[in-house]
A and B are shown apart, each in its own frame.
Chain A
Amino acid sequence: MICFNFGRPESDGTYSKRTKYGMIGVIIHEVGHNFFPMIINSDERQWTWMDEGLNTFLQYITEQEFERNYPSRRGPPNNIVEYMKGDKSGISPIMTNSESILQFGNNAYGKPATALNILRETIMGRELFDYSFKTYSERWAFKHPTPADFFRTMEDASAVDLDWFWRGWFYTNDHVDISLDKVNWFKINTKDPEIENTISKKQLENKNTYIGISKNQSSIPKTVTELDNQSIDFYTTYDPFKTDIFDKEDYIEYMKSLDTDEKDILKSDKNYYELHFSNIGGLVMPIILEFTFIDRTTEIIRIPAEIWKKNSKQVKKIFILDKEVTNVKLDPFLETADVDLNNNSWPDRNEPTRFQIFKENYKKKENPMQRAISAEEKIMNK
């Protein structure tokens, strides 16, 4: 629990960034142990995560309050991806007795800290989460809480049903991999002959045509019917897209059958997008989507994890949008620890690996302190 020996300057008195932030981080962490487990007195020998996980989470919060963009090691969801992906032979659930845990650091520190961070930022929101977390701490100060006490307090203080979250994140070794499988686009048929016939005509004109027909357009200057009036009959000039009095009457009849709400929908000219998702990893998560429209504006839409309630493997949802969509991105802010980003975009998009990004940008790097010193020397020598 409380034991550290980290952070030494170089013999010349300088120190690296790593030493600085590592040392501040470890001090924050060890001070945190005054509270978890010293005051909120859980049993570390049974459930290491109850002090180390909670304390690592608080360490993350504290580090971020200490300095903007503090290089925290554990907390942000994308840092846990490496541990959670792949096959499960080397991963035990968080709810494993401390003696039997595989990969102690990730299991008892990293994953619970990340899970709490996801609860706070994405699932419950800061206000509800912080209130419940404080309630837990106050309720169980100078007592001996067990995991059930933590789970229960977080739920009854916030009135949020989190059973599904504890079950997935704490009792299984599943990971998050939600895939955006398919996007279907629909427009409503207005049944107005003037509008629909124009659309049908355009669609026919835009259809691919056999090459012979387009070549004939220029190689046959005039056809027989164009040259000889005698050869024209009704069908030569018949336009199937022209609206007649019957079409108009049908339309008026149809409009009479609709109520005002239905008429509004008909007139609204909305785009209907049906998105299909599948849950490959096993953990259910909120679905966070970024839609990019044809005019390059974007909109974020958040769907709570309850969408998976009836079917935890596959769901679809319809979005009614004013503008035409060009791109959809799932989890655009990397907040769910989704292990595979290659199935998160429509149209498909392959995310480069860390290796590929490094190789692309590689140049021999000096460290920032070296650069600062040599820059100073350069000015001095001028």
Chain B
Amino acid sequence: MFKSLIYITLPLILSFHDFHVTHTTLHYNSDLENLEITIKVAIEDLELSLEKKQLKIGNLNEKESADEIIESYFKNHLSIYGDNKIINYKWVGKEISENLHDIYIYFEISNFNQNKKIKSLILENTIFIETTDNQSNIMLIEFGDNDYNLTFTKDLNRQKILLTR
């Protein structure tokens, strides 16, 4: 009786910060005509997803190829399509947050949509969904007048937005 009671209560206990949320901001810089991609994830979650790679981000012995491993992970888990054609983005860098909990990963698309031909964007976001069931990935899209705030989950990992400028 006692044992089964413990078994029932355990899954209810909330751990300290097991909330699996990532934030991605797509910000269109109209002066430079580039798309700034800023991804904020918990270092803990990133290391968990790439556990076999033993990244040790920010540690003394951070893996030398950590940048490439992170880059390829995100390219496989965050895709941007302009009118059904994939748009490549390039690595800018990574930076640990002031509170040391998160890492910011920066990518960039130069000359984004210069001729304003693209009518719609399809976003595919599967960051960490293979590691945690309750993963949610939030994307803020800032195109001046057109702002979106989308949440991606395991069941909803592909969303379309219209660009009307």
Contact = CB atoms under 8 A, between A and B. Distances in A.
A48 B36 CA distance: 36
A303 to B, nearest CB: 29
A204 to B, nearest CB: 40
A10 B60 CA distance: 9
Interface in A75-103: 79, 82, 85-90, 102-103
A16 B21 contact: no
A367 B100 contact: no
B14 A3 contact: yes
Contacts of A6: 16
Interface residues of A, number: 48
Contact of B60 (A4, A82, A373): A373
Given A18-B58, A89-B149, A370-B60, A355 B100 contact: no
A367 B60 contact: yes
Contacts of A220: none
Interface string B49-61: 0000000101111
Interface string B1-36: 000000000000111110101010101010000001
B23 A82 contact: yes
Nearest to B141: A86
A344 interface: no
Contacts, number: 116
Contact of B36 (A26, A353, A370): A353
Given A44-B14, A90-B149, A358-B93, 18 more contacts: A3-B13, A6-B16, A12-B60, A17-B100, A18-B101, A48-B14, A73-B99, A86-B147, A87-B148, A102-B151, A353-B36, A355-B38, A355-B106, A358-B106, A359-B93, A359-B108, A370-B60, A373-B60
Interface of B: 13-17, 19, 21, 23, 25, 27, 29, 36-38, 40, 43, 56, 58-62, 92-93, 95-96, 98-101, 104, 106, 108, 136, 138, 140, 147-151
26 contacts: A1-B13, A2-B13, A3-B13, A4-B15, A5-B15, A10-B56, A10-B59, A10-B60, A12-B60, A16-B60, A17-B100, A22-B100, A48-B14, A72-B99, A73-B101, A86-B147, A90-B136, A103-B19, A105-B19, A353-B25, A353-B27, A355-B38, A355-B92, A355-B106, A358-B104, A367-B60
